[in-house]
Amino acid sequence: MTDFSSLMRIIKKHNPDEIYNLAAQSHVRVSFDLPQYTSEVVGLGVINLLEAVKLHNKNIKIYQASSSEMFGNSIDKDGFQREETPMRPVSPYGCAKVFAYNICNNYKNSYNMFISNGILFNHESPRRGITFVTNKVVKGAVDIKCGYKNSLYIGNRNATRDWGHAKDYVKAMWMILQLDKPDNFVCATGVSHSVQDLIEYTFSKLDLDWSHYIKQDIKYMRPEELNNLKGDSSKLQKATGWQPEYTFETMLDEMIDYWR
């Protein structure tokens, strides 16, 4: 994403119909340690992609992976975040994603390009990196169950997230690019759980008492935390018919089975 000539070369070589930009330094906590690098890849890198497409073939459709992290702690009165919710990011990663979101809209309007943003809330699967909280908790609990370790260090357990399954969300990405017109859509389940809920569900599935094993380490806390996320996907559902198939529980069951 930081190398314009490579992007240009690959786009010229393959001349794709659609590009899904999921490239990122995507770890929010890490973005506080690496703010410049994160901004270069997540923010400025998107200009490289947009310029390459604009110069080579403006008909290529672009999906930009925007994020619920862009909302920060801004919540509508009914407790949800949606397309119109003001964006007040609380991390370098979130700030860079807002820049990318805005520049995508700017190129769409200025150059009549097909560029859509999916504003995706957290999405997980067994393939999730183990430094993200879902797979960290699931793998940690299975390791404890198997006797490989006897504690798991975690940061803030009060934060809530709207966790969905990556399989459902990738379908939404594809559906967004099949629409007649480019637009921006929130993709979320509409159900929110705390990190504590995640811990309790996972440990109880393994017949473990979480309170014997979970410890706090401030190194996993963020300098500024995004406290609560819960998304309203009505616009996406209306435009595409998208519905998530997984629930929080079935998603975690799959992850627990995988690590077992």
Residues found near ligand GDD in the complex (CB under 6 A)? 26, 28-29, 67-69, 121-122, 131-133, 136, 154-156, 159, 161, 195, 220, 222, 225
Q: How many CB atoms lie within 10 A of CB 175?
A: 17
236 burial type by CB count under 10 A (0-12 exposed, 13-18 middle, 19+ buried):
buried
169 is catalytic: no
Instruction: Look up residue 155 and give its two tokens.
Output: 């940061």
Nearer to ligand GDD by Cβ, of 60 and 135: the residue is 135
Q: Residue 123 Cβ, how far from ligand GDD at the closest point, in Å?
A: 7
Catalytic entry in 31, 39, 66, 67: 67
Catalytic entry in 93, 201, 213, 246: 93
Nearer to ligand GDD by Cβ, of 118 and 182: the residue is 118
Nearer to ligand GDD by Cβ, of 56 and 171: the residue is 171
67 is catalytic: yes
Nearer to ligand GDD by Cβ, of 2 and 59: the residue is 2
Q: Residue 71 Cβ, how far from ligand GDD at the closest point, in Å?
A: 8
Nearest to 229 by CA among 67, 100, 31: 67
- CA R_g for the chain: 19
69 is catalytic: yes
Q: Residue 241 Cβ, how far from ligand GDD at the closest point, in Å?
A: 23
Residues paired with 91 in a beta bridge: none
Cα separations in angstroms, 23 against 12, 66, 82, 135, 220: 19, 11, 23, 20, 24
What residues have CB less than 8 Å from 205, skipping those under 6 apart? 252, 253, 256
Q: Residue 159 Cβ, how far from ligand GDD at the closest point, in Å?
A: 3
Catalytic residues, which ones?
67, 69, 93
